[in-house]
Amino acid sequence: NSVRLVEVAQLAGCPRSKLIQSADDLEHDFATEFQGIGITAGASAPEDLVQAVVDKLSQGTNAQIREHVVAREDVAFKLPRVVRTD
């Protein structure tokens, strides 16, 4: 879960790791405090919310955005029988 992602980041040497719900949770000048920022998201995080965070962090900076894909998920779940029409 997402709380565990924060714990792992802190244990890996990132003491300023934080859990946010949206880009609005970031202070305006947050990105200017660091040379590098890593972003990760839980499996249920919508891509548009992740992109909004990236966009806000890169505003007013010379940010170089690099995407590092660790795994691609293509799992599909069937709807419960009670709501399926097949």
**pLDDT, tens digit, for every residue of 1-59?**
788 989 999 999 998 898 999 999 988 777 777 888 888 888 788 889 999 999 988 88
pLDDT of residue 13: 93
Alpha-carbon distance 82 to 71, whole Å? 32
Alpha-carbon distance 31 to 63, whole Å? 9
Domain containing residue 45: 2-83
- With vertex at residue 25, the alpha carbon angle to CA 23 and CA 8, rounded to the nearest 5 degrees, is 90
Total structural domains within the chain: 1
Q: Which residues contact 14 (CB under 8 A, 6 or more apart)?
A: 38
Burial class (CB within 10 angstroms; exposed 0-12, middle 13-18, buried 19+) of 47: exposed
